[in-house]
Amino acid sequence: MTELLRTRAELSSFRSALRAGRGTAAGPLVLVPTMGALHEGHRALLRAAAREAADDGTVVVSVFVNPLQFGPGEDLDRYPRTLDDDLKMCAEEGVAAVFAPSAAEMYPGGEPAVTVDPGAGGAVLEGASRPGFFGGVLTVVLKLFSLVRPAVAVFGEKDAQQLAMVRRMVADLDLGVTIAPVPTVRDEDGLAMSSRNKYLSAAERATALALPRALHAGARAAGAGPDAVLAAARRVLSLAPGVAVDYLSLVDPATFAPYPGRGPALLAVAARVGTTRLIDNVRIELSGGQDAADH
């Protein structure tokens, strides 16, 4: 049975009981940080966490809609909150506990005065489009690591820039947490699974399929070089009325700096379909010395 923990005190008691019950032979504590509204993509994260925990470890899921990562006019108030359904999925996947604090419990003094600066990598793409976003993400992730104290944390590759920022924070601050990535999970039609997909009407969802089509077109053009990758993806998006592109960029997947011209690359896109903002990405192997700029 999955235990629901609402407070820091309940989380601390859970951890104490875990240590007392399993002792020094206990396996790793594995954390899956989420904002809830769990879907089949999250289920893949839970299953990956179970593999990391193996037979003697413990999986904990956090469910917290973090106000620090929402800017003015963003969808904090209407972000889907489905805790009962989230608990059901966690129970199905053998999760030991769900930590679902309130904002007041997570930030007892209100908005924190000390936050995490994401550095240069957090100022581009998502960071440029959503100022303060990565500071909010990294601050809450650091707090979750401090409260839960996991050995391993599981993140999805759909949020590739977030994954890169978390990895950099762990390395730079010597947090001692292993970050386990999980590939993007897609619906049968190719759309990357996201809690925000619930906002899309049937017509908007059909329009949104231009994002994965553009990425796939870019990937198919890899043999012709970086400029061809961007041109192929841009062509698909230009033929999709109703898709308002925020960015389409080819970047270094570790730093999110502009692609240096050789080696692995990440083709990333963000766009609005109706009122819903969607992101997606694909890794591409490129060779050659041609530079590519952001668009």
CA-to-CA separations, 58 to 31, 32, 151, in angstroms, rounded: 9, 11, 10
R_g of the chain computed on alpha carbons = 20
**In the chain, what are the domains?**
3-182 (3.40.50.620), 195-283 (3.30.1300.10)
Beta bridge partners of 270: 247, 279
Measured CA to CA, the distance from residue 287 to residue 224 in angstroms comes to 9
Which position has the higher pLDDT, 292 or 68? 68
Residues identified as active-site: 42
Structure confidence by residue, pLDDT tens digits, 190-212: 999 999 999 999 999 999 999 99
Structure confidence by residue, pLDDT tens digits, 106-162: 999 999 999 999 999 999 999 999 999 999 999 999 999 999 999 999 999 999 999
Give the mean pLDDT of 216-220.
Answer: 98
Structure confidence by residue, pLDDT tens digits, 160-170: 999 999 999 99
Q: Is a pLDDT exceeding 60 seen at residue 257? A: yes
- pLDDT band of residue 295 (cuts 50, 70, 90) is very low
Is the whole-model pTM more than 0.85? yes
CA-to-CA separations, 155 to 31, 41, 85, 122, in angstroms, rounded: 9, 11, 20, 17
Helix residue ranges, H only, the chain: 8-22, 40-53, 83-92, 103-106, 126-129, 133-148, 160-172, 202-208, 210-220, 226-238
